[in-house]
Structure 1
Amino acid sequence: MTTLNDLFLGSLDRKYGRMNDNEIIHLEAAAANLDHIVYPGNKHQKIYAADVPGLISKAKEFNLWDSWKHKVTSEALPFNPYVKPKISGVLFKTDHLDRDVYEHLLQSTSFPILVPEDGKTFVNTENKCFSLNNALYDLSEEMVNHLNQGKKFWLYSCNGRVAWYTRAEIEAQNKWKSAEIETKEKIKSLFELAEEILRAKPIFDAVKQKNIFSVLPFTWYTGIKTVLSGLTEKSWGDGEQANTVNHLVVAEDYSNGRLTRKAHSFLCTAGGFGSAEDSKKEYSLKIAGYIVDTVPHKITCKTCLSRIERLLNNVDES
């Protein structure tokens, strides 16, 4: 198969139309040795190659992988598998037209509009000129002969000039652009997966804790101890501060030996606080917008966790 460079070594046949079998373009393969990738549009967000297996493992653990495995590259960083081809085309200098001359040339040409079809592109073989974006260019003898044979070509603006591209150049450019778009989508998807894992982790941890604590001898939920400083404009606004911890709240009256709690009281402290119902912290699990279950936030109060451990040991001994 012919490569782009092979075609450029000889004289260029700037034809438009069906390519011969030996002219099918194969882009140069790129080496897959990336250390990290950067989120498109934000160079400060990075994912390193060493992080990918862990992300995928977490996605599987959180039951997310089935919906993501077709969007990201498994066990590796997504990268463009091809080296960007060097494409220059044949450049033409720009000469701006007098409006009357431009209108005359436009009306006197009968040649088909070339791409891009913007209504401003025309070719006038009699005057050996063509126009793109209201600018006039000389039409070389080679191009006149090319057009008289019924062939077409691509014209594109390029750094203030116009480039005439071959079929091979356009095919290589389109193949690389397609691969670039696909790669950017995979990179974006990998960052989105990482964000979803971050959102899922606290819920997943809370579910595991809820299952372990389901054998406690009373019903319970998670709450916080609301403070006035957590209700100001500079705080979370819901009674929390940055260092707020989650407590276990006994949802019913309970008494067992030295431990006695009234309904809606904190496990770690007896009295001193009002009902904790208004400080309940829970995740809402939804399907199609409907809440199907709720999960208490993970308990982080050390005193609560210590008393829960003693209660669980008593349950295990009984």
Structure 2
Amino acid sequence: MHELISPTIINPFWHNALAGGTHEGKVLDSETVELHGVVLKVATWEKVTLVPGDLVYIHVGGDLTFMTKEEKEKRDEEKRISAERLARIRKRWREIEEKKESEHKQRAKEFNESLNIPVNWRPDIKMVMSGLSENSMGNGMNRRSVYHVLLLDDLKDGRLKRSSPSFLCTSKNGSNGNKNWNIYEEDYDRWTMEHKVTCKQCIKIAKRWEKDEYRNLS
């Protein structure tokens, strides 16, 4: 950008109308340019070649500066290349993140299916009040939250009995006594895809169904 010197007295309405923008001006001679009727002089320390009749691009701000048409075209091209490079980087980043997310979901699905729980269920969390506070995620979770097995059907297996809906790791008389699980409209398949069961007690109890007679139950 090259500096311009305005007349000693300049109409404030002219400045206010153009302030903050970049406008097309016209070269008058090797030392002066014109913008909306006001003649501006190129600062003596600026080394720039001007051709009468050429366009220049003048920015009106706290200072008056300008660039030639060639300089503007070069800057615009550099900005375009930079924007395209940034777009490629962002696209690649999204692809990497999407791949990681897809792989994470697939691993979660495979692990959840390996539990072989003999009734319908889905991963869910036990809601905590700290996860509903103003500075929390607002979904009942906190940093220590784990995903449990939430049973969607009644379960009876010997002395193990759970009523639906309840968590596998605790009985109805335990911490399941209150309605403290998340209620979402997502279907079972989506839940098994997205959230891996991480509750150690749920996983420990589910090991009882690794026996062959339970493997084909849905």
Tell me if both proteins adopt one fold, taking TM over 0.5 as the criterion.
Answer: yes
Contact 1:222 1:282 in 2 (8 A): no
Q: Distance in 2 between matches of 1:298 and 1:305?
A: 11
Q: TM-score, normalised by structure 1?
A: 0.45
Q: Distance in 2 between matches of 1:267 and 1:160?
A: 72
Q: Distance in 2 between matches of 1:193 and 1:226?
A: 33
Q: Aligned AA for 2:80? A: S
Query: How much does 1:267 deviate?
Result: 1.8
- Is it true that 1:130 corresponds to 2:33 in the alignment? yes
Contact 1:265 1:276 in 2 (8 A): no
- Is it true that 1:185 corresponds to 2:87 in the alignment? yes
5+ residue gaps, structure 1, are 1-87, 101-114, 286-291
2:163 is aligned to: 262
State how 1:146-165 maps to structure 2 within 5 Å: 146-147=51-52, 152-157=53-58, 160-164=64-68
Q: TM-score, normalised by structure 2?
A: 0.60
Query: How much does 1:247 deviate?
Result: 1.4
State how 1:34-183 maps to structure 2 within 5 Å: 93-96=4-7, 98=9, 116-117=23-24, 121-122=25-26, 129-132=32-35, 134-137=38-41, 146-147=51-52, 152-157=53-58, 160-164=64-68, 167=70, 169=71, 171-183=73-85
State how 1:202-221 maps to structure 2 within 5 Å: 203-213=105-115, 215-221=116-122
Query: How much does 1:93 deviate?
Result: 4.9
Query: How much does 1:300 deviate?
Result: 0.8
Change (3 A) 1:262 1:174: closer
Q: Distance in 1 between matches of 2:128 and 2:32?
A: 79
RMSD, aligned α-carbons:
4.3
Change (3 A) 1:283 1:153: farther
Query: How much does 1:160 deviate?
Result: 4.2
Contact 1:224 1:244 in 2 (8 A): yes
2:143 is aligned to: 242
1:251 is aligned to: 152
Instruction: Tell me: higher relative CO, structure 1 or 2? Use CA pairs within 8 A at least 6 residues apart.
Output: 2
Q: Distance in 2 between matches of 1:234 and 1:170?
A: 47
- Residue 255 of structure 1 aligns to a residue whose secondary structure is strand
- Residue 149 of structure 2 aligns to a residue whose secondary structure is strand
Q: Which of 201, 207, 212 is the matching residue for 1:309? A: 207
Query: How much does 1:283 deviate?
Result: 7.9
Query: How much does 1:189 deviate?
Result: 3.4
Which deviations, in whole Å up to 9, do the C-alpha atoms of 1:67-113 show, x marking residues without a partner? xxxxxxxxxxxxxxxxxxxxx7xx5752425569xxxxxxxxxxxxx
Q: Distance in 1 between matches of 2:26 and 2:73?
A: 23
The sequence identity of aligned pairs, in percent, is 24
Query: How much does 1:217 deviate?
Result: 1.7
Query: How much does 1:269 deviate?
Result: 2.7
Query: How much does 1:303 deviate?
Result: 1.4
Q: Aligned AA for 1:156? A: Y
Aligned pair count reads: 192
Change (3 A) 1:186 1:317: closer
Q: Aligned AA for 2:155? A: Y
- Residue 279 of structure 1 aligns to a residue whose secondary structure is coil
